[in-house]
């Protein structure tokens, strides 16, 4: 037997297999949140440059206001809408209502466009149009919808009462024009409801019967049934305004 010691044997550690970490799926882009004003609350205040000089929401105190946006000047659908609003401007004024347009185009674009409408279509635009290049008013009123286009404002319409309270808002896509006659009907309906404490039914027109709110107590039901209204059932009554 040899007196020399043999070299210690090297024991290899077992190989460790490291599983690759799962690759996380790319997160879907988060759509920006569009903040909208709320009906029956104070309309967002604004001060802006327009084709008629500076305008602010405070300038319209004591009057009804139809504030409406359009995607862009020199576009076909917007042109038809502006012609219709212009032709109805006197009737809006007769019911104490002012018109105010808006897009993110410049004052110079607005002026050139309204001059073009008068030259090519024979219609003068008798109301101001807001220049909103920084989109301050458009964002305050929720007019910018990224899914509907780029940074153009959608066709939004806001009806604001003489105290600056937002009473109605309607949004249309860029591809479809609004009915100015329906906006007129809505303004008249809102004025009727606020003045008389009533509601207006589907398709209501001035002079039609209005709806009386449903009773909320048993005693109210008894009173309603004896009130001489046109009552179909205890919750459904119509009446003619004087």
The set of catalytic residues is: 78
- How far is the C-alpha of 178 from the C-alpha of 235, rounded, in Å? 34
Which residues line the annotated binding site for substrate?
155
Report the candidate in 22, 115, 24 with the shortest Cα–Cα distance to residue 73: 115
Question: Beta strands 230-233 and 210-212: pairing type?
Answer: unpaired
Report the candidate in 202, 199, 209, 201 with the shortest Cα–Cα distance to residue 242: 209
Residues 6+ apart with CB under 8 A from 49: 107, 130, 131
Which residues line the annotated binding site?
155
- How far is the C-alpha of 162 from the C-alpha of 168, rounded, in Å? 13
- How far is the C-alpha of 238 from the C-alpha of 198, rounded, in Å? 10
* Residue that has been written with the tokens 């009533």 in this structure: 198
């Amino acid at each position: 037997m040899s007196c020399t010691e043999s070299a210690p044997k090297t024991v290899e550690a077992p190989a460790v297999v490291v599983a690759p970490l799962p690759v996380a799926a790319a997160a879907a882009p988060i759509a920006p949140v569009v903040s909208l004003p709320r009906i029956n609350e104070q309309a967002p205040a604004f001060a802006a440059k327009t084709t008629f000089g500076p305008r602010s929401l405070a300038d319209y105190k004591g009057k009804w206001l139809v504030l409406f946006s359009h995607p862009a000047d020199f576009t076909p659908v917007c042109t038809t809408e502006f012609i219709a609003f212009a032709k109805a401007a006197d009737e809006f004024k007769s019911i104490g209502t002012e018109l105010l347009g808006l897009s993110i185009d410049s004052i110079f674009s607005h002026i050139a466009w309204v001059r073009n409408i008068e030259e090519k279509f024979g219609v003068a635009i008798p109301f101001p149009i807001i220049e909103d290049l920084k989109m301050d008013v458009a964002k305050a009123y929720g007019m910018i919808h990224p899914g509907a286009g780029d940074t153009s404002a959608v066709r939004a319409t806001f009806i604001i009462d003489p105290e600056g309270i937002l009473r109605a808002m309607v949004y249309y896509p860029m591809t479809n024009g609004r009915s100015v006659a329906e906006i007129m009907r809505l303004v008249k309906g809102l004025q009727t409801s606020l003045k008389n404490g009533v509601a207006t039914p589907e398709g209501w027109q001035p002079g039609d019967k209005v709806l009386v709110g449903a009773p909320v107590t048993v005693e109210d039901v008894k009173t309603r049934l004896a009130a001489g209204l046109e009552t179909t059932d205890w919750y459904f009554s119509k009446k003619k305004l004087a």
